[in-house]
Amino acid sequence: MVLGTCRAKRDTEGFVRFLDQIDQATEADQAIHVILDNLSTHKSPPVQHWLAAHPPRHLPQRSGAHRGHRGLPAALQRGAQGPSPPTSFWINSHDVLKRQTHETSHQQFVYVAGAHGVVAVDDALENAIGPVDYRTLPRVTFTTPNIASVGMTDAEAREAGIGCQCRTVPLSLVPRALVNRDTRGVVKIVAESESGIVREVHMLAANAGDSILAGVYAIESRMTVHQMANIWCPYLTISEGIKLAAQAFTMDVLKLSCCGA
């Protein structure tokens, strides 16, 4: 059983409520291991009064000290085998979070930070998720027009030894852009030379941040430009530019009608 709670701040009141939650959810003689940081909240008089009123529960005065999460399972095991099993362990959570989030050179997007947080928490408790996969990380800059991309650039693909080819379609060929009277921008696709597997989708267009999700799905599912060129696409949308860029690998899109499939 793993119990947890989230609060806006760490204070004595919140910790006592958490102790109440633990007390209600567990048997009186059940071993409890409370992972604590080095904040003094759990040493305050209200906490001591709560412990005095609940004799079966106690936080030992001498807990195992750990600078990271790696030694925690072994310490728990050692404690369980001892004559007086400890019920709490100190853990410096800063090391865990710093390793997973702060010490990174990856893109500084809020959804990347969120993914890092999930990994950090899971790593601290179970170490099960593993590294974050950035292959299909969408990158969006909310300028006017938006800049959005996902996957490897043609330069990165060649550096990785992947033969590739590119097609770029100006927004002047995208009906939605014509209707908007704003044809600033392009749509570019990078694909493997032999297989046609899509490696990157890049867009400079109004609402490109919304449309780039199609590129995320295409790269994640290893779609080819042939598949993208022949899949359904709603007419009069900016995302239609992605299909046109895919069609440009095998045909002259200048000769297509405005609503050509």
203 lies in the same domain as 240: yes
Task: Please give the residue range of the domain that contains residue 185.
Answer: 139-255
How many separate domains does the chain show?
3
pLDDT of res. 129: 62
Q: In what order do the strands lie in the sheet with 164-170?
A: 139-141, 146-151, 198-205, 186-192, 164-170
Structural domain ending residue among the three candidates 91, 122, 153 = 91
144 lies in the same domain as 248: yes
Assign residue 247 the CATH number of its domain.
3.30.390.30
118 lies in the same domain as 223: no
Name the CA radius of gyration of the chain, rounded. Answer: 27
The pLDDT-based confidence of 192 (bands split at 50, 70, 90) is: very high
Rounded to an integer, the average pLDDT of 62-88 is 48
249 lies in the same domain as 208: yes
Residue 177 confidence (pLDDT) above 60: yes
Rounded to an integer, the average pLDDT of 237-248 is 96
pLDDT tens figures, 29-56? 766 666 665 567 777 888 888 888 877 6
In a domain, 174, yes or no: yes
143 lies in the same domain as 199: yes
164 lies in the same domain as 208: yes
Q: How many CB atoms lie within 10 A of CB 155?
A: 10
86 lies in the same domain as 143: no
In a domain, 260, yes or no: no
Residue 137 confidence (pLDDT) above 60: yes
What the block records as the tokens of 85 is 């099993």
pLDDT of res. 65: 46
What percent of the chain is modeled with pLDDT above 70? 69
* Average of per-residue pLDDT values in the chain: 79
173 lies in the same domain as 213: yes
Residue 17 confidence (pLDDT) above 80: yes
